[in-house]
Amino acid sequence: MLVLRRRTGQSIVIGDEIEVVVLEVSGDHVRLGIAAPREIRVLRQELVAEIQDENRRAAASQRDLDDLAGALGSLRAPSPSGRGTG
C-alpha cells in the first residue's frame, strides 16, 4: 500500500486517467474528488461489500429454489401409461 500525505487542493494520479483530489479536510473527515472515465466504476468500499453480500444471499436463495424444484420433480406422479414423463 502506498501512503501519501496531501493537502487540500493537492491530488494524486492513478494510471493515465484517474485523478484523486483532496477537496477538504475537517477533523477526521476528508472529502475527495475523483475524476475517472465513465466506464470505470468508482464505489465506496462499504457499498461494494453490501453488493457482494446481497449477491451471495441471492445465489443462496437460487440454490434453495433449485433444490426445491429438484425435490418436487422427484415427487411427480407417474404418467397414466406407467412410464415417467421424461
What is the tens place of the pLDDT at every residue in 60-72?
887 777 777 777 7
User: Residue with C-alpha cell 441471492?
Assistant: 58
In which element (H, E) is residue 37 found? none
The residues that bridge with 51 in the sheet, in sequence order, are none
CA 20 – CA 34 distance, rounded (Å): 5
CA 84 – CA 75 distance, rounded (Å): 11
Give the global pTM: 0.60
Q: What's the pLDDT tens digit per position in 24-59?
A: 999 999 999 999 999 999 999 999 999 998 988 888
Residue 77: what pLDDT? 57
Residue 22: what pLDDT? 97
CA 47 – CA 55 distance, rounded (Å): 12
